[in-house]
Structure 1
Amino acid sequence: MRGEPDLGGTEAARSKGHGFNLAARLAARERRGLRRDLTPAERVAARSRVAPDPKGGVPEFTDETRLVFAANDYLGLAADERVQSAAAEASREIGTGAGASRLVTGDTRVHRALERDIAETKDTARALVFSSGYATNLGVLSALAPDVVFSDELNHASIIDGCRLADAETRVYDHCDPDDLRAKFDRRAHEATGDESWLVVTDSVFSMDGDVAPLEELCDLAEEYGAWVMVDEAHATGLYEAGGGLVQREGLADRVHVQMGTLSKALASQGGYVAGSDVLIEHLLNAARSFVFSTGLTPPAAAAAREALRIARDGDRPARLWANVERLRDGLEELGYEVWGESQILPVVVGDRDTAMALAERLRERNVVAPGIRPPTVPEGTSRVRVAPMASHTAEEIDRCLAAFREAGRALELL
């Protein structure tokens, strides 16, 4: 039986002085209430059985089927037969994996078809797909290599890490605050000694607060100061105008230089994309290291995303999602909960971290899965339960979720 290497947890290893005491790091997380565990789910759908973390063992699922209000599969397409069929067909005809970088032999007709459809949806000249949304932001930001990045303070971790990898000077502006962005622009303009490339980067829908960026005002400011704008549509792609995101809803495709998004949320697959001008895409496929040196997106994932995008553009899934969002938000507020945001993400804010985690646990006891979110993911005093309805939830299931919130809230004396 293969043994485990000594990772610095023993006295002998520590005495050598060059190991990693990972056990101590985990213990510190435990003391701070930040230890995470995996929660295996039986299927990706609005309803699923779940299992406690088996560590290295085999998951053992409970008998109860729980309502899942924790996924980013907003349109409920991961379990859609049309999407599954598209993935299976690509697997049979092209292969289960791309086999190489897109620049070698991993560039297939299904990749090109998906990119054409994304470009049409995003109203751009071209698009390029990456192996993940995280890899997309890392690759785009490092390849653009701006002199200065102006970044919203609540941007996703992949944007923060992309700024670090780009080695750009990063000026963080107050969340969704164009006035503070202008102040940051003015300050930098007085400091600059020569021509600089400036990039404003923001999420369009923020994943923890559920609010949306003031995109038109950001574009106005960027144009006034000669900066570029990059918008991360990870939590918006597929949900708005004809399968587009907030950039499309606001009619800003010709003013946003870089449109980025993921294929792993509403499009029920895996991967990320960037859409923009022909010269932008040509530059990225030459200079974005997370594209150049990574195996291409798998053909089944590309085909699944393409079919999901078609359904989002032509079907009624977005309308069904927004009907469920309205029903659930209204019901939660009628119960007396404080619900933030203006998107499909519904943060039920309770404030105290222990209370938020207790509420999530009481919901789970009532067969509703919705995660408790606490610092450092969110600021102190704003701990919450993040609720994400899907288009595939029925009205009866929305009502069951509301009943669980009512019972759990009363048990914890929140209502």
Structure 2
Amino acid sequence: MNEQADPHAGVEGSGPDHGFDPAERLAERRDRNLDRDLQPAEHVAARTRMASDPRGEKPDYGDEQLVFAANNYLGLAQDDRVVRAAQEAAASVGTGAGASRLVTGDTGLHRALERDIADAKGTERALLFSSGYAANVGTITALDPDVIFSDELNHASIIDGCRLSGAETVVYDHCDPGSLADAMAARGTGGDSDEQSDADESWLVVTDSVFSMDGDVAPLAEICDVAERYGAWVMVDEAHATGLYDGGGIVQRDGLGDRIHVQMGTLSKALASQGGYVAGSEHLVEHLVNAARSFVFSTGLAPPAVGAAREALRIAREGEQCEHLWDNVEYLRDGLTSLGYEVLGETQILPVLVGSRDDAVALADRLRDFGIVAPAIRPPTVPEGTSRIRVAPMATHTTAALDRCLAAFETAGRERGLL
């Protein structure tokens, strides 16, 4: 084989680094103030000690701090019942699945959780993936649509799924059914589904239900109205909603299960575990089992994660933990608003709008001085001029913890001239 024909030819030469210079690339990110580091936490809980990035060394934990930055919304990651379920799964099934689900990595425990999810989501079947990211990428590529209509603020995993699918992707304005309708009208003729410009084309509308940086909710009923006029399928990412509405998500809250073809979500947020899922029809799940590469070529979800998620879902469906969360959300939102902050959204995610990048970073740093972990979210994650502190209370935060958070916001905000 000659060098031109061999895609790996020339890799072992003694010349330069063949265009790869991680130090230079890292320096470029630092120059643009885009670099980040890892800060280990001692526990996954409402309060924990944290350490500065130790690189390859052992973490050196500081004082205990209150965490208002996690997606562990129901505070179940250290719940005794959930921990016990993970331990029992490891003891009875194993610590790992050992193979992909299509080989020998499929167990009765996986099937039990899939039945529970399908019941909570009101669908015929559900399918577990190794992560929410894998679920989105694998599902979108397996559906192989001709055209995808995607909300402009969709999660990166949806964006990557659109790219990998090779479909024509049309981005519509955030949470704007009118923009979606205009985009579809530009591609078709409107009216009934058989009036599309090409009756053989498959169209897919994809949106988050709860958006993680704005805390707002997609107008799913109106999106379905538009999609149905053009015979398009609708796929909804319920990552930040799963488990918070009687065990279901926004789709269940709004009674839209019969209008949405693909319901996707994660086990790693309110359900305090790891993994993702897709819920839908029998035929959809069987197609994904055969065609979703991120499912076919990944080891099955580890049994302890499956056991933990199953117990967490049971607890979430009982309702008491969710009630605690929504009480804390209301208390904290009212308190921040009373202080004079603008709080966006309508969910358990409370984005405190600051404006400038420098103010947001300074506020987050000062909050950390008061023992409050709440990160600054800045461009390019959010638009210029909309930097914010993303506050995420948990069901397990006490009233004293919430008051301490509010006191820190008040003092730090006045020091910075934000109040």
What's the TM-score, normalizing by structure 1?
A: 0.95
Match of 1:324 among 310, 323, 328: 328
Distance 1:101 1:17, change over 3 A: closer
Match of 1:205 among 203, 207, 210: 210
Q: SS at 1:84's partner residue?
A: helix
Are 1:57 and 2:57 an aligned pair?
yes
Distance 1:196 1:338, change over 3 A: same
Match of 1:265 among 269, 292, 305: 269
Percent identity of equivalent pairs: 71
Residue number in structure 2 paired with 1:89? 88
Q: SS at 1:243's partner residue?
A: coil
Please give the alpha-carbon distance, in whole angstroms, between the structure 1 residues aligned to 2:113 and 2:166: 32
On the 8 A contact 1:14/1:21 being kept in 2, the answer is no
Please give the alpha-carbon distance, in whole angstroms, between the structure 1 residues aligned to 2:28 and 2:14: 17
Q: CA RMSD in A?
A: 1.2
Shift of 1:21: 1.1
Residue number in structure 2 paired with 1:179? 178
Paired letter, 2:202: S
Are 1:340 and 2:339 an aligned pair?
no
Please give the alpha-carbon distance, in whole angstroms, between the structure 2 residues aligned to 1:152 and 1:192: 22
Residue number in structure 1 paired with 2:358? 354
Q: SS at 1:171's partner residue?
A: strand
Residue number in structure 1 paired with 2:27? 27
Shift of 1:413: 1.1
Q: SS at 1:16's partner residue?
A: coil
1:305-344 Cα deviation digits (max 9, x unpaired): 0000000001401110000000000000000001000000
Residue number in structure 1 paired with 2:226? 221
Residue number in structure 1 paired with 2:129? 130
Shift of 1:19: 3.7
- How many aligned residue pairs are there? 401
Please give the alpha-carbon distance, in whole angstroms, between the structure 2 residues aligned to 1:14 and 1:179: 58
Please give the alpha-carbon distance, in whole angstroms, between the structure 2 residues aligned to 1:16 and 1:120: 57
Q: SS at 2:27's partner residue?
A: helix
Shift of 1:22: 1.1
Are 1:301 and 2:315 an aligned pair?
no
Are 1:405 and 2:404 an aligned pair?
no
In structure 1, list runs of 5 or more residues that go unmatched.
Answer: 1-12
In structure 2, list runs of 5 or more residues that go unmatched.
Answer: 1-12, 190-195
Are 1:291 and 2:295 an aligned pair?
yes
Please give the alpha-carbon distance, in whole angstroms, between the structure 2 residues aligned to 1:314 and 1:367: 32
Residue number in structure 2 paired with 1:162? 161
Residue number in structure 2 paired with 1:196? 201
Give runs of aligned pairs for residues 226-241 of structure 1, distance below 5 A.
226-240=231-245
Are 1:250 and 2:254 an aligned pair?
yes
Paired letter, 1:96: T
Give runs of aligned pairs for residues 90-129 of structure 1, distance below 5 A.
90-129=89-128
On the 8 A contact 1:337/1:348 being kept in 2, the answer is yes
Q: SS at 1:266's partner residue?
A: coil
1:368-400 Cα deviation digits (max 9, x unpaired): 000000000000000000000000001111010
Q: SS at 1:128's partner residue?
A: strand
Please give the alpha-carbon distance, in whole angstroms, between the structure 1 residues aligned to 2:17 and 2:389: 42
Residue number in structure 2 paired with 1:43? 43
Residue number in structure 2 paired with 1:3? none
Paired letter, 1:94: V
Please give the alpha-carbon distance, in whole angstroms, between the structure 1 residues aligned to 2:197 and 2:291: 26
Residue number in structure 2 paired with 1:7? none
Shift of 1:18: 1.2
Residue number in structure 1 paired with 2:5? none
Residue number in structure 2 paired with 1:389? 393
Shift of 1:16: 2.8
| Runs of 4+ that moved beyond 6 A | none
On the 8 A contact 1:132/1:270 being kept in 2, the answer is yes
Please give the alpha-carbon distance, in whole angstroms, between the structure 2 residues aligned to 1:381 and 1:413: 17
